[in-house]
Amino acid sequence: MSTHRPTKDIGQKAEEKALQYLLNKGFVLRERNYRCKRSEIDLILVESKTLVFVEVKYRSTSQFGHPEEFVSDNQKRSILQGAEHYITELDWQDPIRFDIIAIDAQFNITHFEDAFY
C-alpha cells in the first residue's frame, strides 16, 4: 500500500498553508482558485490597496530546483490573462502585483513579492 498522498491533497494543503500565512500577514482573501477560460489563479488577495495574484508552488524535493523556479512562462502568461479579466471585471483602479509562495517538503514558506509581470 502506498504511503504517498495524492498530489491534489498535498497541493490543497500547501495552498491552505499559503493562505493562512498571507491572512496572518494582514492580507484579505478575495478569491480562491479563480478560473477564467484556461487560466487559474490560486489566490487573489488584497494587501492595503494592492490586488495580489498569488501562485502557490509546492515541491517535495529541491533535487530538480526550487518550487518558485517551476512557474513557466506559459503559466505566467495564463495568470496574466486571468488577472486582466479579473481586473476588468472589477474595474480595479489600484495597484496590482504577482507573488509566488514557494513551499518545500517541510511546509516552509518563502514569499516572493512582485515575482513577475
Q: What angle do CA 32, 89, 86 make, to 5 degrees?
A: 40
Cα separation, 67 vs 110, whole angstroms: 9
Among 78, 56, 77, residue whose Cα is nearest residue 67: 56
Q: Is 117 helix (H, G, I), strand (E, B) or coil?
A: coil
* pLDDT, tens digit (0-9, with 9 covering 90-100), for 55-80: 998 877 666 666 667 788 888 999 99
Domain locations in the chain as residue ranges: 7-112
* pLDDT, tens digit (0-9, with 9 covering 90-100), for 20-31: 999 999 999 999
* pLDDT, tens digit (0-9, with 9 covering 90-100), for 72-111: 888 899 999 999 999 999 999 999 999 999 998 888 999 9
- Residue 16 above 50 pLDDT? yes
Q: Which fold has domain 7-112?
A: Trna Endonuclease; Chain: A, domain 1 (3.40.1350)
**Phi, psi at 29, each rounded to 5°:** -75, 135
**DSSP state for residue 4 in the 8-state scheme:** P
For CA atoms 25, 28, 34, 39, the dihedral sign is: negative
